[in-house]
Structure formats: C-alpha cells, structure tokens
Amino acid sequence: MKIIPYGRQNITQEDIDSVIEVLKSDLLTQGPRIKEFEDAFAEYIGCKYAVAVSNGTAALHLCALALGIKTGDKVITTPITFAASANCVKYAGGDVVFADINPETYLLDINEVEKLLKESPKGTYKGIIVVDFAGRAADLEKFRELADNYDCWIIEDSCHSPGGFFHDNSGVKQNCGNGVYADLSIFSFHPVKHIASGEGGMITTNCPDLYNRLCNLRTHGIQQNPDLKIFNHGPWYYEMQELGYNYRLTDFQAALGRSQLKRAEEGLKRRIEIASKYEKALADKDYVIRQTGVVEGHAYHLYVVEFKDRKGLYEYLREKSIYTQIHYIPVHLMPYYRSFGSKENDFPNSELYYESCLSLPMYPTLTNAEQEYVLQSINEYYNC
Ligand SMILES: *Cc1c(COP(=O)(O)O)cnc(C)c1O
C-alpha cells in the first residue's frame, strides 16, 4: 500500500527542466540562479535582502555569528521546535535558555520570556529566537517591544511559515520573515517544507550591515563587497576578513527552489483547504483534546492535533501506512541539553503537549481520497 507521510515534496516537469538547464550550463555553483532565487524570494516575503545558504541549520548558524553570539551569551528559545533552532546558539558558544510554550498556540509564551528577562539584570540575555511553529505566525510586534526594552535581538525561525502572516497593532499585514520586527529570519528548503530544493536555506533581513556580513560569512569570511576591501594586490585579489564557512547553495538547487517558489501560493491555498477539512471532520470528537483549526495567517507546515491515547493511534495509523509524526520531542529533554541541567517538569506546557500531539498528513498533493482515508482510519481506531 502507498505510504501517506506527514509531509512531502511536489516536483513537476517544470522543476526538473529548470535543474537540467543548470546542469547543462557552465556554472553548477555560484552562478546566476542564486541571485534570481534570492530576489524572487525577497519579493515573495516582502523583505529587502535574502541570502541563500546550504540549509536551514547553516542559516541559523550564520545568524548566530552575524549577531555576534559569544561564549556564555544567553539566548532564549522554545522547547517545541526542531533542535537546530537552539543548536545555533551552542555552535557560537552561547547558552540556550528555554521558556515554555503557550498551550493554546504552541508558540513561545511571551509572558514566560518576560519573566526570564525581568528576573536578571539587563544585558544578561542577548537575544530571543522565536519560531513560527507549525506555520503559525508569532506576534513579532509584541516580541520586538519586549526585546527592545532589554536590548535583545530577535531571530525568527520561519522554516514552517513561508506565506504566513499576522496583523500588527495598526492592522498592517506582516508576512513571516519580512524583516520588519525580527533582525533576521530563516527558512529551510528541506523536502518536507513548503518549498523544496533538496537541502537549502534562506536568511531574510532588512538590515544592510547584517546582509553584508552574512554574504561574507557564507563564503569563508571573504569580503564580497569590493569597496570594503582593506588591501588590494591586483585583479586576482580576494580578502578574507574574518572566519567564515562554505555554506553556499548550488545553482541547480537554486533553480529548483526558484521554480518551486512559483507555486508557493497555490500550495499554501491547498494546505489551508486540507486544514479546514481536518477541522470540520474532527470538531466535536471526544478523542480530540485540542486541534489547530483554521487560524488566519497560518501557513500549515503541520496540522497538529492533540489526541487521547496518541501512542496507540500513532501505531494503528502506521499499520494502515499512514506515517504521522510527532513535532516535537521537547528540545530541553534531549540528552545533550539535559547535560546543561534541564530536566522533566521544567516546562510543563511543552511536556503536556508532547504527550498528546500528532502531526497529520499535510502537503499540497495529498488527495481528498487520501485525507478521507486518514480521517476514516482515525475514527476506526477509536471505534466510532
Ligand atoms: C527544518 C527546520 C530547521 C532546519 O532546517 P534544515 O534545512 O533541515 O537544516 C530549523 N528549524 C525548524 C523549525 C525546522 O523545521
């Protein structure tokens, strides 16, 4: 039987042709497709600058470096995210401090963050990493106000939320990753995400200095802006000004990402349709503790439902070739983070959520019949 995963890519003939075109060209990497993809992505998101990198984790690492995280710097984030959101702080030598989620939105609870900030002298915390978990846009206007009061920067992990948005206090629509409230935002083009390039990532910002710094760090710390070179030995001269990495995306990946981006709106529309169907079908079921439902501006990378007897349901669906997933195992309970002192009951909302959450299949090519089958199988499990 055909496996129904929780998420998957959608590759069209046009996508394939765009990659082949690059493979037949002169430049497999550092060619013209990178800039094209960056420009198109910046336009889609509504930000000034976009920097394509090799994956979302590399994007986070470069953000941590560009913002100057140093040994011992404390940064706040949520336990309900992919580990990379926290790991980037460790890469740069900083310390991760978790704050609990709001049990209704599953997003980092701003009140918990404020509590942490208030408890310590100003300057203790350098930044906040806010995650648009599952595709739900965090209210970054509120986080910005708080961050400004405590001289913190904000990284928005928008891996789940391309196309997502919230309305700010003035009623203005603010797209996830648009750089209005966050210093830097990051995206991933892993095949389960909205836009696939194989591996791939993007950083978006409105800040020209951070943009320049990120471009340099992506290529070994070599200054990319000729006007900013300190020396000049001749036309061959390149200048490494700081320690950077090779975190470039290849041109054929960029071509795939660019081609996929053309269908982003269409994919998002289909995700919203699927979400609305789940919401209707699962409303009033007594085996549902809570479900995401239809939320304005939600980009639905995931459709999360909290189920009674989640483990049994997970296993039953697996037998039926429906491969649901749990997002996420709280990061503070990973043995690596336990080694810095975190433990059970530190973040009760996150841990309670983890006991019952399940991500149902959610991707644009999921057919109506497949979604029916998923819903019918869930009903079967609970004998109703
Ligand atoms: C996927 C993901 C990442 C990492 O992206 P990769 O491209 O896989 O490195 C980081 N944060 C979140 C929330 C993600 O979902």
- With vertex at residue 246, the alpha carbon angle to CA 242 and CA 250, rounded to the nearest 5 degrees, is 145
At residue 384, does pLDDT exceed 80? no
pLDDT digits (tens, 9 = 90+) for 256-300: 999 999 999 999 999 999 999 999 999 999 999 999 999 999 999
What pLDDT is recorded for position 1? 78
The residues spanned by each domain of the chain are 4-261, 264-381
264 lines ligand 1 (CB under 6 A): no
pLDDT in tens, 49-74: 999 999 999 999 999 999 999 999 99
Percentage of the chain lying above the pLDDT 70 cut: 100
CATH topology of domain 4-261: Aspartate Aminotransferase; domain 2 (3.40.640)
Residues counted in the chain: 384
Q: For the segment 239-249, what is each residue's pLDDT rounded down to a tens digit? A: 999 999 999 99
Residue 202 has phi, psi (to 5 degrees) of -145, 145
Distance 190 CA to ligand 1 centre (A): 7
**Ligand 1 centroid distance, CA of 12 (Å):** 23
pLDDT, averaged across the chain = 97
Angstrom distance (rounded) from CA 354 to CA 332: 12
49 lines ligand 1 (CB under 6 A): no
pLDDT, position 90: 98
Q: Cα(first)–Cα(last) distance of the chain, in Å?
A: 24
Which two three-digit tokens encode residue 133? 């978990």
> Ligand 1 in contact with 253 (CB < 6 A)?
no
Rounded Cα distance, 28 and 252, in Å: 6
Specify the residue with its C-alpha closest to ligand 1, atom 15.
159
Average pLDDT, integer, range 24-46 = 97
Question: Which of 53, 54, 80, 85 maximizes ligand 1 atoms within 8 Å of its Cβ, making it the mutation to test the pocket?
Answer: 85
Q: What is the pLDDT of residues 288-347, one digit of tens each?
A: 999 999 999 999 999 999 999 999 999 999 999 999 999 999 999 999 999 999 999 999
| Nearest-atom index, ligand 1, CA of 84 | 10
Structure tokens given for 229:
């070179």
CB 275 within 8 A of CB 362: yes
pLDDT of residue 383: 87
Block residue for tokens 């200095």: 209
- Residues 66, 281: Cα–Cα separation, whole Å: 46
Burial track 54-87 (b if 16+ CB lie within 10 A, e otherwise): bbbbbbbbbbbbbbebeeebbbbbbbbbbbbbbb
Ligand 1 probe mutation, 88, 90, 159, most atoms within 8 A of CB? 159
Nearest to 74 by CA among 20, 110, 128, 36: 128
Residue 301's closest CA among 61, 15, 106?
Answer: 106
In this structure, what DSSP letter does residue 347 have?
S
Could you identify the residue written with the tokens 């037998």? 319
pLDDT band at 170; cut points 50, 70, 90: very high
Give the CA count within 13 Å in the CB-facing half-sphere of 117: 23
Q: Which atom of ligand 1 is nearest to the CA of 55?
A: 7
> What CATH number has the domain spanning 264-381?
3.90.1150.10
Tell me, yes or no, if the pTM score tops 0.75.
yes
Cα–Cα distance, 76 to 89 (Å, whole number): 9
